[in-house]
Every structure is written in structure tokens, then in C-alpha cells.
Structure 1
Amino acid sequence: MNRFALAALIVLFATPALAQEGPKNDDENTLYAVGLVVSRQLTAFNLTPAELEIVKQGMSDGVTGSKPRVEMSAYGERMQQLARARVKAQVERQEPLNREFLEKAAREKGALKTDSGLIYLARAEGSGATPGPADMVKVQYRGTFPTGEEFDSSYQRGTPAEFRLDGMIPCWKEGLQKMKAGGKARLVCPATLAYGEAGVTNVILPGTPLAFEVELLEVKKNKPLD
């Protein structure tokens, strides 16, 4: 994040009216978006409201040129250690919820649990082509965490997604090959078929199962990658 972006964020922190009423114009919407970008870099720390105020103070001092209250060179490793510890604690708290989420999904009427652990539930049967492992597919989809919180959606972006199936996570590779164009399905993916123990930095915690509502719009036959 450059100096301009951080300065813009401080404007947000220093404007109570904006915090209460929300952005009113395109410039304010842009500044608000800056805040969202920075917030994603802080996700690993799982900040409390009180801790967030401390972070705001550090950012304000840095942008305005005030004398730092700590020596930055002494805290680089400490910041990484704190982030790792906070992520580990979040993962441990989530484990019971993740387990319950997968068990409940497997019990849902009509759900099929495959040998890999994928839980597949047909929403509507299609009548078109079934994709092969290297085919291009066009889809609309919505991805959610076990809590039901949405983390990705082609519907929100307003345009379908297109990609080669052999470049996707294992859950999608397997699940979409059970569908026909025109069909809809729910794919519940254990972490081993999604992003595993690595997760996705600032987006998906390690070991997190995911759910996708997928609408297969089109299949384009393709050759396997070399």
C-alpha cells in the first residue's frame, strides 16, 4: 500500500460523519474501497475493536510523520509471529464448526458423498454436454464459508466466469464433471479438495471447507494441457 492510499485511509478514520452515514460520492466510495483493501491485509490478526484503534493510531502517526512510538526494525518478526498465532487460534476455533458443516451437508436429502469427500447435491438437471477434465466451462457461481458468509460470486461481478476445468480446485474438477450444461448444483468441498492447509492469504483460513452454488451455462470441448 503506497503513501497516498494510506493517507486516504486516515481521512476515513478521521471523519466521524462519513463513518456514520457512509460514502456519498465517487471519491468517498473510492476512499472506502481503500479501507477495504487495507482491512484484508489485517485479516490474519483478527483484531478486536480496541486493537483496531491501536492500529489506526500507528497508521496515522506513519502517514502524518509523527514520531513512531516503537522502532519498526525491532517488530518485523514479531508481527509475523503474532499473525501466525492469531491464524492458528482462528483455525482451532473453526474446527468444530467445519466438522459440523460437512456432516450436516452430507445428511441433506439428495446429497451424494463421493469417495474423495466431495458432497454433491443436484439443484436442477441440465440437458447439455458434460464437461471433460480439460474442457472450458462457463459458469455462474456463489462461494460461501461454513458460516454462510459469501467470499466470492460471479453474480456480484455481473458476468459469468470462464475457465479450463483442469486448472481449478479438485472439488470443481470432480463436481462439474457430474453436471450437464443448463444444470445447477451445490458443491460442498472439504478443505482437502479446496485450498487445503495453506488456505488463501487474507481470504480463506487454512483447513476451511467451502460451499459453491454452481450453474453450468456452457461447455466448450478442449484438448488436455501438455
Structure 2
Amino acid sequence: MTVACTEEKAVETAAPAATEQAQPAVATFANEREKQSYVTGAFMGQQMTRMLEAYKELGIELDAKQIEQGIVDGINNNSQVEEAELQEVLAALESERMEAVQALQAKMEEEQAKATEEAKAAGVAFLAENAKKEGIVVTESGLQYEVVEAGEGDSPAATDTVEVHYRGTLIDGTQFDSSYDRGQPATFPLNQVIAGWTEGVQLMKPGSKYRFYIPSDLAYGERGAGDSVPGNSTLIFDVELLSVNPSAEAVQ
């Protein structure tokens, strides 16, 4: 019992010391130039760490200790490798890095192409089933829509400016944009948006609410839109037409 108690006390006593040792030392410098020199070295070290991580992501693992030794030898003008061989090794490393980058890019492009093909197929299947539902109207272009709430007045022309509230989602229900969430309607010339919007909103009257099902070729196509809309995505928009501001040509 005495031994057990003694060991516990020893552990309790040692714990604060271990905590203190884990704290980073506070550097002191004789003058500002000395501090600048240290900071320069620290910055170079951080850059080197990021470089090592970038190489590792490409499948190239460099030895940090050897890099450190090489830096020291280089500073002391005591390199263990002749200049000609040094340049040769660096060129070979750069060639290996470039090959790895190209392989990674090719893999990413392949995965993206596969994803866009799958998105296209999923959109086609979705629209085929959606067209069978009651109340869905399919236009000649392939745009699908349903009237949620009818409005009154004149429909806008493609050259008019419209004020709308809207919510956009992918076919899996993921929301990627919403003027409702921003608390402010959007205003834009109708001929300066995606083709599905230009066609669809011209079918609406002020005060109406429509739901549009827009094929990818009438939306953002193969490129998609940023990270939120993958390429070849079929989109669903709930649109509320608030007002129409006719173009100057239409007024005349």
C-alpha cells in the first residue's frame, strides 16, 4: 500500500513538469537584425514543410533529416554532392514531380468525366419519370414545368428585366442557391441567364409561382457552376415572378 501511494504521488508530481516542458520556448534576441534572421529561417522552414507535404501527396516522400543536413552543408559551403550532380538530381526530381502531377490531373479528369456522365444519365432518367406526372408540361426544348400558382398580367419578353424570388436544387434535393434565404429578390435581364430560365420565365405572369425542371443543356452544361452545381446537372427551380420591367424597346 505504501509503495502504491508513493508511485501515485510521483506521477502527480511529474505531471506539471511534463506540461511545462511541452510549452514552446520563448525566443530572445540581442537585436532586431537577429530576430529578422531567425524569422527568415523559420519562414523557410515552414515553406519547406509545405513543400514536403505537397511532394508526399504526389507519392514522393523526401527525407526531412537529409534535407536539413543538406541545408546546413549548403550554408557552410560543404555540400557532399558536386554541383553538376546536384543539378542532375534536382532535374530528375522535378521530372518525377511533373509526371506525378500529370498522372494526378489525368485521374481527376477521368473521375470528373465519369461523374458528369453519371449526372447526365441520372438527369435523363429523372426527367423521363417526371414527365409522366400529372400537371407537368414539357416544352419542345425539353424544359419541364408545373404551375404552382397562377398570376395575372403580361408575361415578360426575353429582353425585359424581371424581379423574382427563387430556390434552386439538384435532383437529389440539395439546395445550391436561394434568394429567399438571402432575404432579397433577384433582378436581372431575362436574356442574360441560363436558357431554361429565359424560356421558362417568359411563360409566367406577375404573381405566379412555377416549378421548373431544367435539363443540363438548358442549364450550366458540362462545366457546371462552381462547386455547388456539378457538370451535366439537371436542376429544379421554384420561381416566383414578382414584377416585370419592360425594356425600352418594348415600351416604344
Aligned mate of 2:143, from 111, 118, 132 = 118
Shift in CA distance, 178/66, structure 1 to aligned 2, threshold 3 Å? closer
Structure 2: tracts of 5 or more residues without a match: 1-45, 61-92
Aligned residues: 164
| Residue 78 of structure 1: aligned partner | 103
1:198 aligns with 2:183: no
Structure 1: tracts of 5 or more residues without a match: 1-60
Identity %: 35
Is this contact kept in 2: 1:87–1:205, CA < 8 A?
Answer: no
1:208 aligns with 2:233: yes
| Residue 188 of structure 1: aligned partner | 213
| Secondary structure class of the residue paired with 1:219 | strand
Matches within 5 A, 1:9-48: none
| Residue 100 of structure 1: aligned partner | 125
The farther-off stretch of 153-162 and 215-224 is 215-224
Shift in CA distance, 190/65, structure 1 to aligned 2, threshold 3 Å? closer
Post-superposition Cα deviations, 1:86-121, rounded to whole Å, max 9, x if no partner, equal 112222333442222111221221111010101021
Question: Whose helix fraction is larger, Structure 1's or Structure 2's?
Answer: 2
| Residue 219 of structure 1: aligned partner | 244
Is this contact kept in 1: 2:168–2:175, CA < 8 A?
Answer: yes
Normalised by the length of structure 1, the TM-score is: 0.65
Q: Distance in 1 between matches of 2:47 and 2:109?
A: 24
| Secondary structure class of the residue paired with 1:107 | coil
Post-superposition Cα deviations, 1:189-224, rounded to whole Å, max 9, x if no partner, equal 111111122322423222221110000011111146
| Secondary structure class of the residue paired with 1:217 | strand
| Residue 177 of structure 1: aligned partner | 202
Question: Which structure exhibits the higher relative contact order, with contacts defined as CA atoms closer than 8 Å and separated by 6 or more residues?
Answer: 1
Aligned mate of 1:163, from 188, 197, 215 = 188
1:134 aligns with 2:119: no
Normalised by the length of structure 2, the TM-score is: 0.59
Is this contact kept in 2: 1:143–1:211, CA < 8 A?
Answer: yes
Q: Distance in 1 between matches of 2:155 and 2:186?
A: 17
Shift in CA distance, 215/65, structure 1 to aligned 2, threshold 3 Å? same
Code of the aligned partner of 2:114: A
Q: Distance in 1 between matches of 2:105 and 2:132?
A: 40
Aligned mate of 1:145, from 146, 157, 170 = 170
Q: Which has the higher Rg, Structure 1 or Structure 2?
A: 2
Q: Distance in 2 between matches of 1:66 and 1:77?
A: 18
Code of the aligned partner of 1:103: A
Shift in CA distance, 179/62, structure 1 to aligned 2, threshold 3 Å? farther
Q: Distance in 1 between matches of 2:134 and 2:158?
A: 28
Post-superposition Cα deviations, 1:148-182, rounded to whole Å, max 9, x if no partner, equal 11111111111111100010111111100100010
Cα drift, residue 135 of structure 1: 0.6
Code of the aligned partner of 1:200: A
Runs of 4+ residues over 4 Å off in structure 1: 61-66
Is this contact kept in 1: 2:117–2:232, CA < 8 A?
Answer: no
Q: Distance in 2 between matches of 1:153 and 1:201?
A: 15
1:67 aligns with 2:92: no
